[in-house]
């Protein structure tokens, strides 16, 4: 190989490597942008659906839905008997809820709210719901990103798209602090009064295997 040809080949290889690196970077940027757009659309659609079905919902109820999707039932259940007794006592109020038997949380539906009226109507038993709930409580997967960062994305979508979610500056700051501490919240007072929500959180795969088949309305 001549000296001139060797130099040309070296420069060619270096240029190809640079072009390849640039190309891969552009593909990665495009992929990330598309992923972010998809996530934003999912959040937007989920929030719209929530406030459409529950007009009394506030930003606090949006937080609760997405928090439940992130953390599921949120804690281990060391005493199943106590969980059963609490469920039975709450069953007395289950008939007050006239909504659906189940619904998804958040924007991806990783967890399902199974309403206690499904038990009251004889669709499933207390034991079936309790078993699925307890198994789900021990099923929460770790996350790479912080909940506060995810919540910030959700709020940004709501504000950017001007979604009709009831809120105020005080509530925004309160929920921001809760997200930083990874704290759960109750439903808002208006939501509680209007919809009487009584349910248990069940992981989607567990729900589909153990409960969904019984809950045809």
For the chain, 217 residues long, give each residue's pLDDT as a single digit of tens.
666 655 656 655 656 555 554 545 443 343 344 457 899 999 999 999 999 999 999 999 999 999 999 999 876 687 889 989 989 988 877 766 667 899 999 999 999 999 999 999 999 999 999 999 999 988 776 776 899 999 999 999 999 999 999 999 999 999 999 999 999 999 999 999 999 999 999 999 999 999 999 998 6
Q: Show the tokens assigned to 121.
A: 């109507």
Which one, of 66, 40, 78, lies nearest residue 178 by Cα?
66
- Cα gap 120→101, rounded to integer Å: 10
| pTM for this prediction | 0.81
Q: Show the tokens assigned to 202.
A: 């069940």
CB distance 209 to 79 below 8 Å = no
Which residues partner with 58 through β-bridges? 166
- Cα gap 199→217, rounded to integer Å: 17
114's enclosing H/E stretch is strand 111-115
């Amino acid at each position: 190989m001549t000296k001139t040809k060797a130099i040309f080949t070296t420069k060619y290889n270096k240029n190809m490597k640079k072009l390849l690196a640039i190309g891969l970077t552009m593909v990665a940027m495009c992929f990330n942008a598309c992923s972010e757009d998809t996530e934003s659309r999912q959040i937007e659609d989920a929030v719209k659906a929530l406030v459409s079905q529950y007009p009394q919902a506030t930003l606090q109820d949006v937080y609760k839905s997405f928090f439940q999707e992130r953390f599921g039932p949120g804690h281990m259940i060391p005493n199943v008997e106590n969980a059963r007794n609490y469920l039975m006592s709450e069953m007395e109020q289950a008939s007050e809820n006239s909504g659906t038997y189940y619904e998804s949380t958040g924007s991806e539906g990783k967890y399902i709210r199974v309403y206690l009226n499904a038990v009251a109507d004889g669709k499933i038993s207390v034991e079936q719901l309790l078993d699925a709930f307890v198994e789900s409580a021990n099923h929460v997967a770790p996350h790479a990103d912080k909940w506060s960062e995810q919540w910030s994305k959700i709020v940004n979508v709501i504000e950017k798209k001007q979604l009709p979610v009831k809120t105020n500056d005080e509530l925004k700051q309160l929920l921001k602090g809760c997200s930083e501490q990874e704290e759960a919240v109750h439903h808002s007072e208006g939501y509680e009064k209007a919809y009487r929500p009584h349910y248990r959180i069940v992981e989607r795969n567990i729900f589909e295997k153990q409960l969904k088949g019984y809950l045809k309305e």
